[in-house]
A = this chain, B = another copy of it.
Amino acid sequence: MFLRNAWYVAAWKDEVVEGALFARTLLEEPVVLFRQSSGAVAALEDRCRHRFAPLSRGRLEGDRLRCMYHGLVYDASGACVEIPGQDHISARACVRSYPIVERDRYVWIWMGDTALANPDLIPDCHWQDDPAWRCKPGYKHFAADYRLIVDNLLDFSHLSFVHASTLGGSNSMATLRPRIETFDWGLRITRLYPSDVMPPYAAALASYSSPVDRWQIYDWHIAGNVLSMDSGFARAGAGALEGKRPDDAFQFHSIQALTPETASTTHYFWTYPHNFALDDPSVTDMLANGISNAFEEDRVMIMAQQDVLNRSPDRTMFNIGADAAPMQVRARLEQLLAAEAAGEG
């Protein structure tokens, strides 16, 4: 169902505020996050070892967390350090703690085998925390299996239909067959649209108009479901598709991360950093709102798809040419899941 040996986005950095407890279900496990006096984020199983009361209804006492049902206290490692009225505390009276890395505005969590939690495996998301770029953090909750959203992100042919009036527009998006390169960590998908139409949201920003050269070059990291995408457009013929990005090009570097909440619900964390109009927050707002509206179109469609899927237990899907990338990722994901289940993860 889910890869456990992977770094997942647990929260936006700003969601975990000093002195407060933040509860979120991740990979079907209840987790409580809090910031220690050192500033480091701790993550514990949100279930008191004693009687399963949620620790997120507890009380932070310095760097320790007290369950407010019967008063057991845990430290940031999950060890129980106090049981009211009792001197001896068994070492088994602990809750699970999860490795956490805070980086690029994300709080990353490792839900699998702690011994394998190597921070070097975290994908580079620096664009969302870089002074040369601007963005606003986005979050959406999908009542859908995360794999339906993976499919969506790996096949941009849907832009021409789902987002006809927002992101997409041109039919070229639907018919183009992208270049797919395979790496250890996943896929790189390259979609180049020479001499295409300017996207609808951009008309107010650019000093030129259609035709433009558009590009979408995105890395899909299978572990943790992270998309990192270089995209944008420039005056047609100015060399942008050959890697020469002119000064008046409009460049983006979107980060999108999917963390399963349960088998049928997903947390979706995203930004859409841009490297122009850095001093005009209204542009950042306008772009973030536009993207949010577009992702809402995906959300509605994917949740409708999930609903039909739930009601179609005996039906099989039918693959088309546009499915090359999603099918490749699904196949590799299945292999990784099987390896984890076999204890090779």
* Bitwise interface map of A from 175 to 205 toward B, beta carbon under 8 Å scored 1, else 0: 1110000000000000000000000000000
* Bitwise interface map of A from 258 to 282 toward B, beta carbon under 8 Å scored 1, else 0: 0000000000000000000000000
**A207 CB–B CB distance under 8 Å:** no
- In Å, the complex CA distance between A3 and B300 comes to 34
**Partner-binding segment picked from A212-220, A228-236, A245-253, A306-314:** A306-314
Question: Which B residues are CB-close (under 8 A) to A54?
Answer: 304-305, 307-308
Contact call B161/A47, Cβ cutoff below 8 A:
no
**Partner-binding segment picked from A68-76, A110-118, A119-127, A334-342:** A68-76
- Shortest distance in angstroms between A71's beta carbon and chain B's nearest beta carbon? 5
Contact call B53/A85, Cβ cutoff below 8 A:
no
Contact call B70/A155, Cβ cutoff below 8 A:
yes
**A299 CB–B CB distance under 8 Å:** no
Knowing A157-B84, A162-B69 touch, does A52 contact B309 (C-beta < 8 A)? yes
**A153 CB–B CB distance under 8 Å:** no
A51 — nearest CB in chain B belongs to which residue? B317
**Partner-binding segment picked from A7-15, A101-109, A131-139, A318-326:** A318-326
**A67 CB–B CB distance under 8 Å:** yes
A69, A93, A151, A175: residue with the most chain B Cβ atoms closer than 10 Å? A69
**Which residue of B52, B66, B83, B305 is within 8 Å of A321 (Cβ)?**
B83
- In Å, the complex CA distance between A301 and B177 comes to 54
A51, A71, A93, A300: residue with the most chain B Cβ atoms closer than 10 Å? A51
**A92 CB–B CB distance under 8 Å:** yes
**Which residue of B69, B305, B322 is within 8 Å of A158 (Cβ)?**
B69
Q: A57-B301, A70-B320 are in contact. List 18 more A-B contacts (CB 8 A).
A: A28-B311, A50-B320, A51-B151, A52-B309, A53-B304, A53-B308, A54-B305, A54-B308, A68-B301, A69-B158, A70-B158, A70-B322, A71-B160, A84-B157, A84-B171, A84-B322, A86-B321, A92-B318
The residues of A with any CB-CB pair to B shorter than 8 Å are 28, 30, 46-47, 49-54, 57, 66-72, 83-86, 90, 92-93, 151, 155, 157-158, 160-162, 164, 171, 174-177, 300-301, 304-305, 307-309, 311-312, 315, 317-322
Which 7 A-B pairs have CB atoms at the shortest separation, nearest pair first? A85-B175, A84-B174, A68-B161, A86-B321, A52-B308, A49-B318, A71-B161
